């Protein structure tokens, strides 16, 4: 297993290995331009930003999270467990309010979001998805951005489905199960493959499709 993706040099080195293993991706890399590191500090605020980004555009997610962070500073599980007012003011949907409350309670009850980053990917995903409202996409994105995990690919992500379908000539775009099978061929560098195809999505759609990091 490759080491964690902690620096932009790690991204470049992993891209070199990924493209050597699958030469089809050389063209994708050339068109994608800069492939960002996409790292965030592990912890509660990072998880909240990813929950906020579920099933909305990046622009909407940034706006909602910006309002929430301005209303609750610092963004802690104690603060979010206390009052519904901030959720309404930030514009969060009821399902996301329930998820954030469940996440707050889980962290207050002992879920260590920093220590979780040192676990095996499937163990970490299992721990996160045990929290009501947190699915595999949220868990995988957290591992990519907060833990720098080298071999995670969030196949449920619509931007990734769109980008891979466009790049590989798959029409209609591959659904989650099909994309997960495709991504298996990019192991153990699925983390940087995710970053590559988010950058490629930006190239083909002229907007950011990656979740916040």
Q: In the listed set 147, 175, 190, which residue is the last one of a domain according to the structure?
A: 147
pLDDT tens sequence across 156-213: 999 999 999 999 999 999 999 999 999 999 999 999 999 999 999 999 999 999 998 8
Claim to verify: residue 54 and residue 124 sit in the same structural domain: yes
Give yes or no: residues 109 and 156 share one domain: no
Examine the domain organization and report whether 50 and 143 are in the same domain. yes
Mind listing the pLDDT tens digit for each residue in 48-59? 999 999 999 999
Domain range enclosing 26: 8-36+152-205
Q: Report the number of distinct structural domains present in the chain.
A: 2
At a CB cut-off of 8 Å and minimum separation 6, what does 120 contact? Answer: none
- Indicate whether 103 and 171 sit together in one domain: no
Residue 169 lies in a domain: yes
CATH number of the domain that 79 lies in? Answer: 1.10.340.30
Residue 186 lies in a domain: yes
Residue 131 belongs to some domain of the structure? yes
Same domain, 52 and 109: yes
In a domain, 2, yes or no: no
Instruction: Give, rounded to a whole angstrom, the gap between the first and last alpha carbons of the chain.
Output: 23
Q: Is there a contact between 131 and 103 (Cβ–Cβ < 8 Å)?
A: yes
- Burial class of residue 36 (count of CB atoms within 10 Å of its CB; 0-12, 13-18, 19+): middle
**96 domain residue, yes or no:** yes
What pLDDT shows up at residue 76? 94
pLDDT value, residue 84: 80
Is 210 within the bounds of a domain? no
Shared domain for 142 and 160, answered yes or no, is: no
116, pLDDT greater than 80:
yes
Both 57 and 127 in one domain: the answer is: yes
Same domain, 137 and 171: no
**Statement to judge: residues 27 and 66 lie in one domain:** no
> Which residue among 147, 166, 195 closes a domain?
147
Q: pLDDT grade, residue 81 (50/70/90)?
A: confident
Confidence of residue 65 (pLDDT cuts 50, 70, 90): very high
Output the six-digit token pair for 18. Answer: 């990924």
Residue 1 lies inside a defined structural domain of this protein: no
User: To the nearest whole percent, how much of the chain has pLDDT over 70?
Assistant: 100
């Amino acid at each position: 297993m490759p080491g964690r993706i902690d620096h932009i040099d790690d991204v470049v080195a992993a891209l070199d290995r990924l493209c050597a293993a699958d030469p089809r991706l050389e063209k994708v890399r050339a068109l994608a331009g800069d492939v960002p590191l996409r790292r965030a500090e592990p912890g509660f605020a990072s998880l909240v930003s990813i929950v906020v980004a579920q099933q909305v555009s990046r622009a909407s997610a940034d706006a909602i999270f910006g309002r929430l962070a301005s209303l609750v500073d610092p963004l802690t599980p104690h603060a979010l467990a206390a009052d519904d007012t901030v959720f309404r003011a930030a514009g969060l949907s009821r399902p996301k309010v329930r998820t954030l409350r469940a996440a707050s309670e889980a962290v207050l009850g002992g879920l260590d979001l920093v220590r979780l980053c040192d676990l095996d990917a499937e163990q970490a995903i299992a721990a996160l998805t045990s929290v009501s409202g947190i699915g595999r996409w949220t868990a995988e994105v957290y591992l990519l951005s907060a833990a720098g995990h080298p071999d995670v690919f969030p196949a449920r992500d619509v931007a990734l489905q769109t980008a891979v379908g466009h790049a590989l000539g798959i029409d209609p775009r591959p659904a989650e199960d099909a994309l997960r099978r495709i991504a298996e061929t990019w192991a153990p560098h699925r983390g940087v493959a995710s970053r590559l195809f988010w950058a490629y999505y930006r190239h083909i759609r002229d907007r950011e499709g990656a979740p916040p990091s």
